[in-house]
Chain A
Amino acid sequence: MEDKKIILDVKNLNTSFKSDGQVIKIIKDVSFQLEKGRSLAIVGESGCGKSVTVHSVTRLMAKNAIINSDHVIYRSYRNSEEPKEYRIDKMSNYGKEMRSLRGPEISMVFQDPMASLNPVYRVGDQIIEGLLEHNKSMSKKEAMEKAIDMLKKLGIPAPEQRVKDYPYQLSGGMKQRIVIAIAMINDPELIIADEPTTALDVTIQAQIMELMKKLQTDYNKSIILITHNMGLVTEMADDVIVMYMGRIVEKGSLRQIFSNPSHPYTKMLLSSVPVLGLEQGQKLTTIPGSTPNPADLKEGCEFAGRCPFCTDACLKGKIPGFEIEEGHMVRCLRCAGHKEVD
């Protein structure tokens, strides 16, 4: 445990939203740790809270959000073996401390590259903006050189010309690469990618994913990948978290989750994805029903209403997580008997 370099440590993160005088819990007791140089995928369907989780960590939340946690610790291993600890949970959302973390330490890549870039500025200026913000003494010329270097690293052809382009002159894949360049320009240790390829075509998606993988392996960056695409998870991630209605239902290494999916939701989710080369006439498994409204949820397991194995016990109290193998946690009473971990 001690020799692992934990870069992000989240313990019992809870996020609620206030709306119309009602408080709705969106994230419930989410805990996870991310090792340096590894990539963690958070998967789930829309509304499961995967985006809200990372936005709660980076504190990019609307005013009506209430974030509570035991702790959220970010550790920077940049200069020495002795990490520098930041208690993110003690910082204010848009305070100086938090802002100094965003960019140089933690940065984000968002879903839609068309919306992430400002259409009225040249992309070069948009890349160096972050650099100049955190390095007041740097000149614009120096910054531009660094930006061109970065684009070279990301395999963008003719970077000297590209920095002078406006976003509309670039294709979708190229724009997403620019967005990644903006995220990478301050050399952050942790990159959070929120559905980075959902808006792109498959062949372009393959290019971008290749690039992200390279960042992780060649530059030893840590990556949190948020996606609903199970295929991407197998290609990118070392560790996987499966979320459903704001709770982690299963957590483990990629191999553990995919070769031994143990929560009914994970199992059904995996078998409901059409896979190439499926036999003719073979049918997909479906998960009956639709995701419930978070405001209607009562105690017990969130998945109980759609679960074929639901029992009376599933409808009561808090369902604990069980460790069925080392590092493989399943939040399901069907695994009771294993060590309770959460």
Chain B
Amino acid sequence: MAENNVTNTNTTNSIDNARKYGTKLWKKKVRKFFNNRLAVFGLLVVVIFLVLMIGAPIFTKWDPNAPNFKAKLVGPNAEHLLGTDSLGRDLFARILYGGRTSVLIAVVSSFIGSTIGTILGAIGGYFEGFIDKCLVRLQEIVSCFPQLILVLIVVAFIGPGTWNLILIFALTGWTGCFRLVRSEFIARKEETYVKVCEAFGMSNVKIMFSQILPSVLTTVIVQLTMNIPGYVMQEAGLSFLGFGVPMNTPTWGTMLNAAKASSILINNPHCWLVPGLAISLFVLAVNFFGDGLRDVMDPRQQ
């Protein structure tokens, strides 16, 4: 009767042998991801962008900051693939080198923000009570505070800069992730498997980080990817207004800023079209990728 209870006919006896036949959920997820065309497109575009940015010196011979007064505002041609701006700087080179800063700001601030949010959210959600109340109030204060004012203050005191921007983004950007992780923790700590771990005498820290966090982490990773395009846009916006990165550092935002003169807007559309399209394409691609990632990673969809 004992043998009948088993639907699986593969009755191996050693654990080591069994290990080989175990379920590889990872493979299944990868396959599922690659069945989603939009997600694959997103991934492809993101990878192409990253390769171009990282290997920028290989793909372009131009210095993004070297002005060339002989070739001001020329349209796309064989020499300058995407044309030049009002100072004669090669736009393709600026897109590549500028993308480095833009994407760096977005990825790093999103990562730091998510980490802060996850840790605080885990603590608040798991322990609740007084600590949780303090954290929620803090979160409310931070979300209420207008980001632009904060940017202005920082710029006024220490001047614009890449790392200042990251700092501000991270300090204001953890709230969404905090709320998400906190509510997930509150819901999941009631699950029976958490009670089981308590009954085994597992410590609180271990329950939080090895039992509950892995299932929350997938949502966090998705949230993290979804935040990246937002930061790319914000950086562009702030730099366009002149509060972001210094004008001499090429980013997609400062490129747009440089193209804001009305004569350029009308006569040389490629100057703003190029960085604009780069932002749109990148944002769209990351969003598609994030969507696909969510479909695959969300444990509830299995």
Give yes or no for direct A-B contact (beta carbon below 8 Å): yes
Interface bits B1-40 vs A (CB < 8 Å: 1, else 0): 1001101000000000000000000000000000000000
Tier of interface size on chain A: under 10
A317 CB–B CB distance under 8 Å: no
Query: Which residues in A have their C-beta under 8 angstroms from that of B1?
Result: 286, 288
Q: Which of A11-54 contact B (CB under 8 A)?
A: none
When distances are taken between beta carbons in the complex, the residues of chain B under 8 Å from A306 are: 4
Bits for A274-295, please: 1 = Cβ < 8 Å to B, else 0.
Answer: 0000000000001011101000
The residue on B at minimum CB distance from A296 is B7
Closest B residue by C-beta to A286: B1
Contacts of A292 in B (CB 8 A): 7
Chain A 78-93 near chain B by CB (<8 Å), digits 1 or 0: 0000000000000000
We find that the number of chain B residues with CB closer than 8 angstroms to chain A is: 4
Docked complex Cα distance between A292 and B7 (Å): 8
> A290 vs B4: C-alpha distance in the bound complex, in angstroms?
9
Q: A306–B7 Cα gap in the complex (Å)?
A: 11
CA distance A306 to B1 in the complex (A): 10
- Which residues of the partner chain A approach B7 to less than 8 Å between Cβ atoms? 289-290, 292
Q: In the assembly, what is the distance between CA of A210 and CA of B4, in Å?
A: 41
> Which residues from 267 to 315 on chain A have a C-beta closer than 8 Å to any C-beta of chain B?
286, 288-290, 292, 306
CB distance from A287 to the nearest CB of B (A): 10
Q: How far is the CA of A289 from the CA of B6 in the complex (A)?
A: 6
Q: Give the chain A neighbours of B5 by CB distance below 8 A.
A: 288-290
What is the chain A residue whose CB lies nearest that of B2?
A288
Residues of A within 8 A of B4 (CB): 288-289, 306
Least CB separation from B6: chain A residue: A289
Q: Would you give the 0/1 interface string for B130-145, flagging 1 where the beta carbon is closer than 8 Å to chain A?
A: 0000000000000000
Inside 8 A of A289's CB, which chain B residues have their CB?
4-5, 7
Chain A residue with Cβ nearest B1: A288
What separation, in Å, do the CA atoms of A288 and B6 have in the docked complex?
Answer: 9
Chain B 156-183 interface mask (CB, 8 Å, partner A; 1/0): 0000000000000000000000000000
Q: Bound state CA distance, A276 and B60, in angstroms?
A: 85
A286: chain B residues within 8 A (beta carbon): 1
Alpha-carbon separation in the docked complex, A5 to B69 (Å)? 99
Residues of B within 8 A of A288 (CB): 1, 4-5
Alpha-carbon distance between A292 and B5 when the two chains are bound, in angstroms: 11
Q: How far is the CA of A289 from the CA of B1 in the complex (A)?
A: 8
B3: nearest chain-A partner, CB-CB: A288
The residue on B at minimum CB distance from A292 is B7
CA distance A289 to B4 in the complex (A): 5
Which residues of B have CB within 8 Å of A290? Answer: 5, 7
Shortest CB distance A307–B (Å)? 11
Most chain A beta carbons < 10 A, residue from B1, B4, B5: B4
The docked-state distance in angstroms from the alpha carbon of A286 to that of B4 is 12
Q: In the assembly, what is the distance between CA of A25 and CA of B4, in Å?
A: 25
- Closest Cβ–Cβ distance, residue B129 to chain A (whole Å): 27
Bound complex: CA of A54 vs CA of B134, how far in Å?
53
- Complex alpha-carbon distance, A292 and B6, angstroms: 11
- Name which residue of chain B comes closest to A290, CB basis: B7
A304 shortest CB reach to chain B, Å: 12
Taking the closest CB of chain B, its distance from the CB of A293, in whole angstroms, is 8
Quote the shortest CB–CB distance from B100 to chain A (angstroms).
43
Bound together, the chains give a CA A292 to CA B1 distance in angstroms of 16
In the complex, what's the smallest C-beta–C-beta distance from A46 to chain B, in angstroms?
Answer: 16
Inter-chain CA distance A232–B7, complex, in Å, is 31
C-alpha spacing A279/B47, complex, angstroms:
71
Nearest neighbor of A288 in chain B, beta-carbon distance:
B4
Complex Cα gap A286–B200 (Å): 31
Interface residues of A in 187-203 (CB under 8 A from B): none
B210 to chain A, nearest CB (A): 31
Instruction: Kindly provide the distance from the CB of B132 to the nearest chain A CB, expressed in whole angstroms.
Output: 26
State in angstroms the CA–CA spacing of A72 and B74 once bound together: 77
**A288 to B1 Cα, complex, angstroms:** 6
- Distance of A36 from chain B, by nearest CB (Å): 44
CA distance A306 to B5 in the complex (A): 9
Q: Report Cα–Cα, A290/B7, bound state, in Å.
A: 8
Closest to A293 in B: B7
Q: Closest Cβ of chain B: how far from A197's Cβ, in Å?
A: 25
Q: How far is the CA of A292 from the CA of B4 in the complex (A)?
A: 12
Most chain B CB atoms below 10 A, which of A286, A289, A292, A306 = A289
Can you list 11 pairs linking A and B with CB atoms under 8 Å apart? A286-B1, A288-B1, A288-B4, A288-B5, A289-B4, A289-B5, A289-B7, A290-B5, A290-B7, A292-B7, A306-B4
Which A residues form the contact surface with B (CB < 8 A)?
286, 288-290, 292, 306
Which 6 pairs of residues, A with B, have the shortest CB-CB distance? A288-B4, A289-B4, A288-B1, A289-B5, A288-B5, A290-B7
Given contacts A288-B4, A289-B7, A306-B4, 8 further A-B contacts (CB under 8 A): A286-B1, A288-B1, A288-B5, A289-B4, A289-B5, A290-B5, A290-B7, A292-B7
